[in-house]
Amino acid sequence: MCNALGSLDEFSMEKMDNDKLRRFHDFLENASYSKFFVWLEVGTYALRTSFDAAPLFFESGMKSEEYQVCFFLKRCGNDPVVASMLSTQLLVGQIDGNPLDDLLQKMNAEYVPKLLGENDWPDGVRKEFQANLNKFMATITEESQQAKGRTYLYIPEETITDTHTACKDKDLLQRLESTVIYWTR
């Protein structure tokens, strides 16, 4: 937990009082808690926690670049977490800045390449997943850029080594056509 919290600007161990440690312990042990959020309050830098949700930066008066939240999610729903299996039972992460921009950056850098590289899925599942992933990425790309007053069109990650073969690949053509249709809506 401390490694994850150490990435929050202005964090120090002195802010981890017994109440915060007890709340984190409750999260690990209590089956009714599946998520835990930690953040520093803007201005006071007081450490805050929640079992429900992180603060919404646009409702709290903070600037998006000041927004930092560390989150802990139980992978196995509401099962108690065992100390020796923390890395397999918890998903730990941080949101830096605007949550939509952070999601877009993480999707482009980590998840999309891994998901598109997955070749063990049945053909129908893989095709449907790729189509929906492209729609999702187009949507978050557009929304993220629109909030900044910019127009940016999402171009799907496709590996095309031979254009003649690519022209005959109906699935590839359908994915690219769907993207162009999305742009023109």
- Looking at per-residue pLDDT, the higher value among 56 and 172 belongs to 172
Strand order in the sheet with 35-40: 47-50, 35-40, 68-74, 90-96
| Tens digits of residue pLDDT in 131-166 | 899 899 999 999 999 888 998 888 888 878 888 888
Contacts of 75-78 with C-beta under 8 Å, sequence gap 24+, read 77/34, 78/31, 78/32, 78/33, 78/34
Mean pLDDT comparison of 62-71, 75-84, 145-154, highest-scoring range: 145-154
What per-residue confidence (pLDDT) applies to 20? 79
Q: Which two tokens stand for residue 13?
A: 């161990």
67 pLDDT more than 70: yes
What per-residue confidence (pLDDT) applies to 5? 52
pTM higher than the cut 0.85 = no
| Tens digits of residue pLDDT in 9-65 | 555 556 667 887 888 888 888 888 888 998 877 677 778 888 888 877 666 666 777
- Residue 123 CB partners (closer than 8 Å, separation 6+): none
What per-residue confidence (pLDDT) applies to 109? 92
Residues 126, 136: Cα–Cα separation, whole Å: 15
77 pLDDT more than 80: no
